[in-house]
Chains A and B, each alone.
Chain A
Amino acid sequence: MRTVLRALAVVLVLMPWLPLATSRADSALDAYADQLVSLARADQLATSREWRVLGHYRESALGGWKSEVDASAFFLATEGKTDPAAELDATLRAFVADGFDLDLSAEGGGPEPSRCRFPARFAWLDERLHFDPEMLPHAPCARFDHWRESLDADSATMIFASAYGNNPSSMFGHTLLRLNRASEGTSADLLAYAVNYAALPTTENPVLYTILGMSGGFPGYFATLPYYLKVQEYADMEDRDLWEYRLRFDRPAMDRMVRHLWELGHAWFDYYYLSENCSYHLLAVLEAADPSLHLIDQFPDWVIPADTVRAVVETPGLVVASRFRPSRFRTMVALRERLTPAEIELAERLADPAGPDVASALAGVDPIRAAAVLDAAYELVRYRAERSPMTAASGRERQLLRARGALGVPAQPADVPAPPAPEIAHGSAAVTVGGGSGTRGAFGDVFVRGALHDLLDPTDGYLPGTQIEMFGFELRAFGEEAPAFELERAFLARIVSLAPVDPWVVRPSWHLTVGFDRVRENACAGWDCVYGGVAGGAGIALGWDRAIPGFGYTFADLDSGVGAPFRDRYRLSAGASIGTVLQPLDPLRVQLEAGYLFPFLGVERPDSISDGGEHGVDFRLQGGAAWSLTHDVELRAEALRLRGAWESSLALRFYL
């Protein structure tokens, strides 16, 4: 009895102290966390480049720092998005608090411990603060480790998908990253993982899709997927060439990159097509691998993927090798080049699903040549099958392959010549300054264009016969008149797509302009002559390589205008145009165009029509010549003749 009472007494006395004993362990951890936090403050880690890179912090307009990451799961502090110091403190405290927790997240056994959710932060903070392994052990992270092992990333390659025919906006390009494994060779490349940043659209409505995609309405995520899926998407389905730039990242840099990619797995960013797009965030990943790289700083406003390729290639020592991977279309054309005209015809017949029996059509043909014919025919059927479900369903491809297999001739891959590389392309923005003379007298002219390329700009690195200009305006000042500067024209977009007719690929050519222009007849001056509208046309183009390389084209056109110069405030015209773009010498490009537009709805105001008639008839004759003086400077001469006006000018264009 007494023993029991004594035991009870001991328990009663000790009881209040027991919680204290466990909380003493807690308070030891708290004290350690406090210690780490003060060390971090003393070293000013929160203001360091590495921390800013890991948090994707940028200087905000009001002088503070703001992270571009928009997912709250990326931050451990409530104000983490705008307070890097608070985020760092919260990160250290979180690491200490769950430092001993096991990572059971893979089996669905709870959330990842913070050291496993943020391995890059952990590794860097450990490096700088030397964590005490008794207080903050390097406990394993099962899920992250498994992922990291699957990737097996030994080096990285930046991939650029260039433009494809009849899609001028594809000239802006797309970039992704490939995490190469240790083994070499293109087949090893296919099996490697690619890192891609893309928007996840939440709507299929095309108008909303465009609007939301431009204004941050969709979230953007990082994904790692087998490179072969991307090759299929870009090179096969979209006919885009892929340029591969191997980057100089050693093992420690790759470790940093892979750890940070895992951190980004929990993150998303508001996707802005013009600025925070695929290429922009990819640069952030490169900076995470090597914080001494300053790539994003070079892009304060909008980001064009092709420009980011230039930035990477021009960073000394960053790119160690480059490789060209042709699109399916280019391969098809190269295979066709190997054939004689008779063989081309045979290939076309073989490619026709309703064509002859393959084996009998090839009877008597030398096996090596038969193989070459089959290779080309197969590509042609595949090309057509991508675009026509009926062809796809015919099973013709397999019939051709059966014949190919039976021949027993080993593979004869096409030798596809690489076009000029994207990094040698002229700068994406341009400013043109010049002057000239016309019906209204002498004038000075300034034309500013945000992007990208017109038919007279140097073609290297761009798709021949393709023009896409966005966000441009032109101001003109006339010597003997006031006001000082007048809006000559402004546009949202001016697009031309010349798709030369090819025996195997027939596509229409087209053009589209959205913007403001002015009526020039009768020396019209002032704002009353400006109108806005949409103009476009469709037609065909021919291309030729011999003698003077170039294109010839003709369009049926439609022109709509709304504004003060029209009696009823609108005018709709229809007509046609014909033109040619030539490159007589390497640095010289010439364009000539003639057009005719007949207004069928709405007329110009009588006082602005020069011939006094009811309906103005618009003849147009224009020419331009451009000479590349240097890589970034071009000399342009232009002339325009309308029914009631003319002008000619000379200018210098500077590419930025």
Chain B
Amino acid sequence: MKRTWGWIAAAVVGSAGLIAVTALPARALLASGCGLGSMVIEKNHKVGQVASATLNGSFGTQTFGISTGTSGCTTDGTLMGEREQQAFAEANLQNLEHDMASGGGEYLSAFSTLLGCDPKLTSQVASFAQQNYSSTFPTENTSASDALASFKGALASNDTFANGCTKL
């Protein structure tokens, strides 16, 4: 019954030319690191109104399928502990950067947690991040890995954070 409904709908939709045809979202290939930075799909907003909305062509279904085994930074769909920081920095680079420049925000707080910092230090981490923004992101092309490394280095050379953050 479902299949019949589906076929009827599909035949009518397909033949009615409801779809505005332009490029389908390009799925980027895994690059270096965890490849999550390059997983940002370029969605063309004119793609088939009916088609794209909720087929949810899976941002990540292949990488994060449950029990898919180990690949890149994931095991069976969850991030490997030691890669969590890298994955987060890559996937959320813009938001994290924004929070650092602004001296606060939920991405920076989440990042602080990933660095193993005591929750009481969160606002200090935020101000520290703001003060160090220019050295964390020195050029237009600073990558997630570079920023991650220099920020962690800066934290480690500060006594408060060296003691308060366990995963530097």
Which positions in A face B, CB cutoff 8 Å? 61, 106, 143, 146-147, 150-151, 166-170, 172-174, 183, 185-188, 190-191, 193, 196-201, 204-207, 209-216, 218, 221-226, 228-230, 232-233, 236-238, 261-262, 264-266, 271-278, 301-302, 305, 371, 375, 378, 382, 387, 395, 397-398, 401-402, 404-406, 408-413, 492-493, 495, 512, 514, 534
Contact = CB atoms under 8 A, between A and B. Distances in A.
A216 B65 CA distance: 19
Contacts of B149: none
Given A188-B113, A209-B55, A214 B104 contact: no
A382 B107 CA distance: 17
Contact of A210 (B2, B7, B14): B14
Given A262-B66, A514-B16, A534-B16, A226 B79 contact: yes
A200 B58 contact: yes
Contacts of A266: 67
A528 B60 CA distance: 52
The 10 closest A-B pairs by CB, nearest first: A265-B66, A411-B104, A405-B133, A265-B67, A187-B109, A215-B6, A401-B101, A198-B56, A150-B78, A225-B64
Contacts of A375: 102
Given A61-B1, A382-B94, A210 B77 contact: no
Interface string B60-85: 11111111100000011111010000
A187 B126 CA distance: 13
Contact of B103 (A186, A223, A411): A411
A302 B106 CA distance: 37
Given A215-B7, A411-B126, 14 more contacts: A147-B78, A150-B81, A183-B113, A190-B106, A196-B61, A198-B58, A200-B61, A214-B10, A218-B55, A230-B59, A232-B40, A273-B6, A274-B5, A278-B54
Q: Which of B64, B75, B104, B130 has the most CB of A within 10 A?
A: B64
Nearest to A186: B106
B47 interface: yes
B146 to A, nearest CB: 13
B144 interface: no
Nearest to A150: B78
Contacts of B98: 378, 401
A191 B45 contact: no
B150 interface: no
B105 interface: yes
A214 B5 CA distance: 9
A206 B18 CA distance: 11
Interface residues of B, number: 81
Contacts of B78: 147, 150-151, 193, 224
Contacts of B17: 534
Nearest to A165: B45
B30 interface: no
Contacts of A150: 75, 78-79, 81
Nearest to B78: A150
Contact of B48 (A209, A277, A404): A209
16 contacts: A187-B109, A193-B78, A196-B58, A205-B24, A222-B65, A228-B92, A228-B107, A229-B39, A236-B95, A265-B76, A398-B97, A404-B101, A405-B100, A408-B130, A411-B105, A514-B18
Nearest to B42: A389
Given A198-B56, A232-B91, A274-B5, A262 B13 contact: no
Contacts of B64: 223-225
Given A409-B103, A410-B127, A275 B66 contact: no
A193 B87 CA distance: 13
Contact of B62 (A187, A188, A200, A409): A200
Contacts of B133: 401-402, 404-406
B7 to A, nearest CB: 5
Contacts of A61: 1
A277 B62 CA distance: 18
Given A151-B78, A405-B100, A277 B43 contact: no
B76 A143 contact: yes
A458 to B, nearest CB: 22
A206 B6 contact: no
Contact of A402 (B21, B79, B107, B134): B134
A446 B60 CA distance: 45
Contacts of B63: 225
Given A187-B106, A199-B57, A201-B57, A492 B12 contact: yes
B137 A401 contact: yes
Q: Which of A170, A211, A301 has the most CB of B within 10 A?
A: A211
Contacts of B68: 265
Q: Which of A106, A213, A278 has the most CB of B within 10 A?
A: A213
Given A147-B78, A233-B59, A405-B130, A223 B53 contact: no
Given A210-B13, A215-B6, A226 B103 contact: no
Contact of B53 (A167, A183, A197, A534): A167
Contact of B24 (A204, A232, A237): A204
Contacts of B148: none
B61 A198 contact: yes
Interface in B129-147: 130-131, 133-134, 137, 140
Given A147-B75, A211-B10, A411-B126, A223 B24 contact: no
Contact of A190 (B50, B110, B131): B110
Contact of A408 (B5, B100, B103, B113): B103
Q: Which of B7, B12, B61, B130 has the most CB of A within 10 A?
A: B61
Contacts of A401: 97-98, 100-101, 133, 137
B36 to A, nearest CB: 7
Q: Which of B59, B101, B137 has the most CB of A within 10 A?
A: B101
B161 interface: no
B154 interface: no
A534 to B, nearest CB: 7
Contacts of A237: 40-41, 43
Given A147-B75, A169-B50, A413 B105 contact: yes
B49 interface: yes
B9 to A, nearest CB: 5
Given A174-B56, A191-B113, A398 B137 contact: yes
Contact of B134 (A214, A406, A534): A406
B19 A207 contact: yes
B18 A170 contact: no
Contacts of B106: 186-187, 190
A210 B101 contact: no
A105 to B, nearest CB: 9
Given A206-B48, A262-B66, A276 B19 contact: no
Contacts of B62: 200
B19 A210 contact: yes
B10 A228 contact: no
